[in-house]
Structures are given as C-alpha cells and as structure tokens.
Amino acid sequence: MTNRLGALQIAVVGHTNTGKTSLLRTLTRDVNFGEVADAPGTTKRVQGAQVMLEGTPVMMLFDTPGIEDSMGVLDYLEQLSRLGDRLDGPERLELFLQGPEASGRYEQEARVLGKLLHCQAGLYVIDVREPVLAKHKDELVILASCGRPLLPILNFVASSASRAAQWRDTLSRLGLHTCVEFDSVSPPLDGEETLYRTLSVVLPSHQAILSGLQLQSVNQKVARRVAGLTLIAGLLIDLAALRTPSSTVPELLEQAIVLQQAVVRQREQACVQALLLLFQFREDDYLAHPLPLTEGGLSVDVFNPEALKDIAAHTGGGVGAGMIAGAVADVLSAGLTLGTGMLIGAVAGGAALGVGRFSTRMLSHIRGFRELTVADEILQFVRLRQGQLLEALERRGHASVAKIDVAEGTTQIKSSLTALPKPLLSARAHPEWSAVGGRFQDSSARQKAILALVELG
C-alpha cells in the first residue's frame, strides 16, 4: 500500500446545496470543516481535508463549490468543440479552463472541473429530494467529460420526499450503475464502510488504501463504542460507590445533600463531555438537562446490604458474616414498613428487630453511622440516559446542526426499574472505588467492576 500523501485525491462535486461540505464533515469527523448553510453558493473555493490511515495521510478529499449554471457551461463547451478538432472530453475542458470564461462568467464551475480533472475520482453528491431536471443531466454530462470515475452519493435518503428510485434510473441511463445511499446528518451505521468499499469498486487501482480505510472505519467504530461504555461504567461506579458523610442533625444533613447533589451532577457532566470529545463533537452540541435530583433522589442508606457487609468487614472479629446476613434480612423487611428514619431508631433501640442476636459492639457501629448514597433510581436513570447519549453519538453525522437531546422522564425508569447490575451492587460496599469521593483508591477490583459493566453493554 502506498502511504504517500496525495496518492489518492478525490473531489466532492455536485449541484449547489446538496450537502457536499456536510459529507466532508461527516467523513473527516470534523464539525468545523468548511461552512455549511441551507443556501446555494455557500462554498466558494476548493478546500482539501486529509484522511488518515493508521496515523498516516493516505487520501485527500476536496470540497468544491456547487455547480450552478451547468446548462450555460455545456453550451459553451459545445461551442468550443466546434472550434477544436476532434477534442475528447478532458481536452475540451482544458481548453475551457485556459479560456477567459474560466475566470469570468463560469469561474465557480471552472474551479470544480479543474479540481476533478486533477483527481483520481469524484464523489457526486445528489439531493435526492430534488426531481431530476435538465440542469442535473447537463451537469452529469460535463462531469463525465472529465474522464474520471464518478461515484454518485444519494444524500437525504432519510427524507420522506426522497426520489432515490428516479435518480438511480437516471444515473443508470448515463452509465453510472453503482451508487451509495448516505445521509450526512444521520448516516447509516455502516455508511462510511459502504462508501469506501463501493469507491474501491469504481477505483480498483487504489483498492489497498480504500480497503484499509474500510477496515479502519469498522475498527474505530468498535473502539469508540468500548471506550464510550468504559466512560459510562466509570461514571456509574463512581456514583454507586459514592458516600457522603452525614449527620442526624437536620442542618448538617441538608448541607450534605446539597454537596452530594453537586458532586453527582458534575460527575455526570464530566462523562458527557468525555463522550462528546471521544466522538469529536462540540460541547454545545448537547442540550443539557440537569439530573432531576430531589432530596428523595439521594437516600440515607446505611441499610444497603453491601454497605452492611462493609461495616462487618471493618468491625473486625466482633460481627460474623451470618449475623450480618440476618441483620440485613430483618432490616430490609422492617424498612419496608418503618421507613428509614424509624429504622435507624429501631436498630438503635434494638426492640423491633430482635436484636438479641447481635452483639452490642455491632449495634454501636450501626448507631450513628449515617452516610448519603446515590439512590438506585438515580443510578438507573443516569445509566439509561448515558446509554441513549452513546447511541445518539454513534448515529450522528458531523454535519448535524440540531442539538443532541436525550432527556427522558424519570417515570420511564420507575416503570422499567430493574435490579442494579452486580458490579454496581459491589460498588456500594467500596467507597474507595468512587473517584469523586474523599476516599478514592484505584484498584484492580474497581477496574474489574468497570470491565464487567462494559461487558453488560
């Protein structure tokens, strides 16, 4: 495979306002490339963008101005044909490019044709919502006369006004039997691979580069998904493991709740930013909705089974695992009817739960041990909405201008609330797993839990 820059040069051409610049943005994953607007004549000059294969530039894509007056150019070329003697397409175009009209009336069109003549192939971008008109047919005749393979890209196929079938028919009649369906705003998941694979059919001389790009696109997609799931898993572990010391004094409890809410929100926002960066989108592409954290969203949760096991671990020999299991069962069933506040009192007082089975040492550990944790509902909600964000990013083209909005009501979560996945239950017992808690300590156990969450998808 040749790795020389410029070994493969492709011009992106077509009628004005069909989405040429948008296609380049999506293929290069560069939201800042060129200028995109819903108006003809947005791109005025040819602009190139490198495409890298394993860190090496292997292809240049050139954005070109839209062709506006194809009928005028074709008439003019036909006049030139009458002057010259048996000129073929490219020769006739060279004559046009050297003439006065190429820097006058048809300057825009000359830029496009000049570029295509010096590239190995062209991507011909079509807005399939448009009916096929004479100007389009003329445009294709002129482009074909450059003597370069053309791959039509049927853009806007997702629109209900699509006339893709009519376009396919017209293209076939002109000898263009291979084309690719695309949508730069919401490209098909395998759109990029399909484009490179099909381009290698019309450009077999560069098959090695194009197959490499196709494979790279598949690999990058998988790598981005795994990286995205890892970011989300890290967030969830941080939140599940988070414990904020609290107090039975109402004012102090209030302060602890406010502090914990801020930590949770910031941590989620950090994950959103990391996901946007991973997929190369801008921060303001995302319509942020703050987490609906009410006081009830954060529960006083000393009675989480995992948390109790943790207490056991830290109290040394005084409390046996079996006793803890019993305590958990009793505490949980009592919790359903008594409510958390009552429960604390109940345990402390010992009466309602038959605490005869517990040593006073253990009770003293439970008594006054109050910490805030993030409620299951909030963890489920964050998991769902980060998952939705990941999917939206995977399906989004870099030409999109609408904001990503994945806000969902918590009601949806409540109705479909399932048990927390195991790694999150484990995290409950490990406050040191929370990178946003005060006791953070990375460990292989934490990494394993992240990996296990990633595997759950």
Ligand X SMILES: Nc1nc2c(ncn2[C@@H]2O[C@H](COP(=O)(O)OP(=O)(O)OP(=O)(O)O)[C@@H](O)[C@H]2O)c(=O)[nH]1
Residues forming the site for Mg ion (CB under 5 A): 20-21, 42-43
Contacts of 104 by beta carbon, 8 Å cutoff, 6+ apart: none
User: Using an 8 Å Cβ cutoff, are 238 and 264 in contact?
Assistant: no
Q: Which does 155 bind (CB under 5 to 8 A by kind): Mg ion, ligand X, none?
A: ligand X
66 binds ligand X (CB under 6 A): yes
108 binds ligand X (CB under 6 A): no
Candidates 33, 96, 124, 156: give the one binding ligand X (CB under 6 A). Answer: 156
42 binds ligand X (CB under 6 A): yes
Q: Beta partners for 125?
A: 14, 153
Candidates 153, 300, 399, 406: give the one binding ligand X (CB under 6 A). Answer: 399
Sign of CA dihedral 245, 248, 251, 254: positive
Q: Which residue is nearest to Mg ion (CB)?
A: 43
Task: Return the number of the residue (20 or 267) whose C-beta is nearest Mg ion.
Answer: 20
Sign of CA dihedral 65, 196, 159, 177: positive
Sequence length of the chain is 457
| Stretch touching ligand X by CB under 6 A, among 14-22, 92-100, 222-230, 319-327 | 14-22
Task: Return the number of the residue (21 or 145) whose C-beta is nearest Mg ion.
Answer: 21
Q: What is the DSSP letter of 132?
A: P
**Min CB(420)–ligand X separation in Å:** 39
> 3-state class of 104 per DSSP?
coil
Candidates 28, 70, 108, 155: give the one binding ligand X (CB under 6 A). Answer: 155
CB neighbours of residue 363 within 10 Å: 16
| Stretch touching ligand X by CB under 6 A, among 18-26, 92-100, 282-290, 300-308 | 18-26
Q: What is the DSSP letter of 318?
A: G
Q: Which does 280 bind (CB under 5 to 8 A by kind): Mg ion, ligand X, none?
A: none
Q: How far apart are CA 242 and CA 311, in angstroms?
A: 15
**Min CB(152)–Mg ion separation in Å:** 17
Candidates 21, 70, 216, 386: give the one binding ligand X (CB under 6 A). Answer: 21
Q: How far apart are CA 104 and CA 248, in angstroms?
A: 82
Give CA torsion, residues 111, 117, 118, 121, to 10 deg: 110
16 binds ligand X (CB under 6 A): yes
Please, which of residues 179-218 interact with ligand X by CB under 6 A?
183-185
Size of the site for ligand X (CB under 6 A): 22
Candidates 1, 2, 32, 37: give the one binding ligand X (CB under 6 A). Answer: 37
**Min CB(125)–ligand X separation in Å:** 6
Task: Return the number of the residue (116 or 229) whose C-beta is nearest ligand X.
Answer: 116
Q: How far apart are CA 355 and CA 358, in angstroms?
A: 5
CA atoms within 13 A on the CB side of 198: 20
Give CA torsion, residues 291, 295, 301, 307, to 10 deg: 30
Q: Which does 251 bind (CB under 5 to 8 A by kind): ligand X, Mg ion, none?
A: none
Q: Which does 215 bind (CB under 5 to 8 A by kind): Mg ion, ligand X, none?
A: none
Task: Return the number of the residue (41 or 354) whose C-beta is nearest ligand X.
Answer: 41
Closest CA to 16 of 107, 109, 96: 109
Element (H, E) at 14: strand 8-14
Q: How far apart are CA 256 and CA 31, in angstroms?
A: 41
Task: Return the number of the residue (124 or 303) whose C-beta is nearest ligand X.
Answer: 124
Write out the residues near ligand X by the rule CB under 6 A. Answer: 16-22, 36-38, 40-43, 66, 155-156, 183-185, 399, 401
